[in-house]
Amino acid sequence: MNAFKLRLIIFACVLYVIVAETKMPAMVSADKIRAIEERLGKVEEELKLEKERNARLSKGAGKRSYEGDAVAFFATIGASVEHLGQGQTVVFDQLLTMIDSTQSLGGYSATTGVFTAPLSGVYVFSCTIMTLDQHTTHVALQKNNTPLSTIYVSGGSGHGWDSASSTVTVPLAKGDSVSVKHMDNDHGLAGAFYGGQSTFTGFLLQRQYDDTPVVG
């Protein structure tokens, strides 16, 4: 219970006892009534000040939470990749959006193709893959090298340029990684023409503030 509200309740109880112990209300002196009124006024003023302080603290905490929780990226493949080996990380080398208000060394790396979580929380990732003309490609969105979802694009004869997408929502602990891995032996991916056709994006949906482990 709020400390000042508790004091107000106690004060009301004391006032009740004072009046109850007096045989007649008229016997309560004017000085005692004024003293009670002054004390009650002070309690009310303290409650008002505490309410204002709590409002300021809540506003400041909300602002800090907003400013400190912005994590997002968006990257595309700049030039077509002719050959990908099995287990090779797909590098989306054109980093178009990178937001990490923690200013850490985490986030997405356009060099390695790996996203490293700078904060614990729930994240959303989405990947779109376009194959080369009449090619087939099989990739997986992975968390710490464990597949979360797979994207299979069947671009065989007569299919031309095909694409497919996958979106996942996943809890990450700080330092966990997410990447896109090629699952087969030798396939290719389409690069950017008239915009990015093969893309990888992700963002922090909800930060985890306490020390309990993220389940997932």
CATH topology of domain 70-207: Jelly Rolls (2.60.120)
DSSP assigned state of 131: B
**Cα gap 20→13, rounded to integer Å:** 10
pLDDT in tens, 138-172: 889 999 989 999 888 876 666 667 788 999 999 99
Mean pLDDT, 10 residues at a time, over the chain (216 residues)? 60 60 57 75 80 74 59 90 82 92 86 95 94 80 93 72 89 96 72 72 88 51
**Cα gap 47→73, rounded to integer Å:** 45
Crossing angle of helices 30-68/3-21, nearest 10°? 170
Residue 147 backbone phi and psi in degrees, to 5: -60, 135
**Cα gap 205→111, rounded to integer Å:** 25
pTM, two decimal places: 0.64
Domain ranges (residues) in the chain: 3-67, 70-207
**Cα gap 10→4, rounded to integer Å:** 10
